[in-house]
């Protein structure tokens, strides 16, 4: 194998490596399935969407069934409106609940769908009636700390020490 053959082989190896990096970057940015396929839209309203972002996955039982298309604010109710694109192959009952969940302790947020038991399915463009907002870690820590502070304050006011039991006299 001549020098030119080795250079061609090394060049093609570098090109394959670069294509692999582009593929991984697209997967990491949730752009791996550009063009998506046939989908239908569902809407959900949340009091707090936390750090949910467009292109976040929509999952059921851990399986990705769609993506978040857009997030906006309803000017009348001041709720976050999340528009989800669900793959056509997945149908959900009308009483399906949507929750904003976190992957791991500090991971990315996603929408979790919990199917109900209704006989009728949601149609394209319908709004999910049951939603649960994102749990914000800072709010939980604040509630925990204020709860501990109020417990410490109450212990000082109401927690008077009980009198020590009287020592019994030895029997003769």
Per-residue model confidence as pLDDT tens digits over 30-54: 555 544 578 899 999 999 888 889 9
| Lowest-pLDDT choice from 1-5, 65-69, 147-151, 163-167 | 163-167
Whether the model pTM is above 0.75: no
- Asked whether residue 125 carries a pLDDT value surpassing 70, the answer given is yes
The beta strand positions in the chain, using DSSP E, are 39-46, 57-60, 63-73, 80-87, 97-102, 109-114, 127-128, 130-132
Mean of per-residue pLDDT scores for the chain: 82
Residue 114 in 3-state DSSP?
strand
Q: Assign 2 a pLDDT band (cuts: 50, 70, 90).
A: confident
User: What distance in Å separates the CA atoms of residue 105 and residue 120, rounded to the nearest whole number?
Assistant: 35
């Amino acid at each position: 194998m001549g020098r030119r053959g080795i250079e061609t082989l090394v060049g093609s190896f570098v090109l394959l490596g670069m294509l692999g990096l582009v593929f991984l970057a697209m997967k990491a940015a949730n752009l791996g399935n550009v063009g998506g396929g046939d989908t239908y839209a569902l809407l959900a309203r949340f009091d707090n969407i936390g750090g949910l972002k467009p292109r976040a996955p929509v999952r059921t039982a851990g399986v990705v069934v769609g993506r978040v298309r857009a997030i906006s604010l309803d000017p009348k109710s001041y709720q976050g409106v999340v528009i989800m694109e669900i793959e056509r192959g997945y149908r959900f009952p009308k009483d399906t609940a949507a929750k904003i969940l976190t992957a791991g302790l500090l991971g990315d947020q996603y929408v979790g769908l919990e199917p109900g038991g209704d006989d009728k399915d949601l149609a394209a463009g319908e709004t999910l009636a049951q939603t649960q907002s994102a749990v914000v870690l800072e709010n939980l820590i604040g509630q925990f700390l204020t709860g501990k502070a109020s417990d410490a304050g109450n212990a000082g006011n109401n927690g008077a020490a009980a009198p020590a039991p009287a020592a019994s006299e030895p029997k003769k």
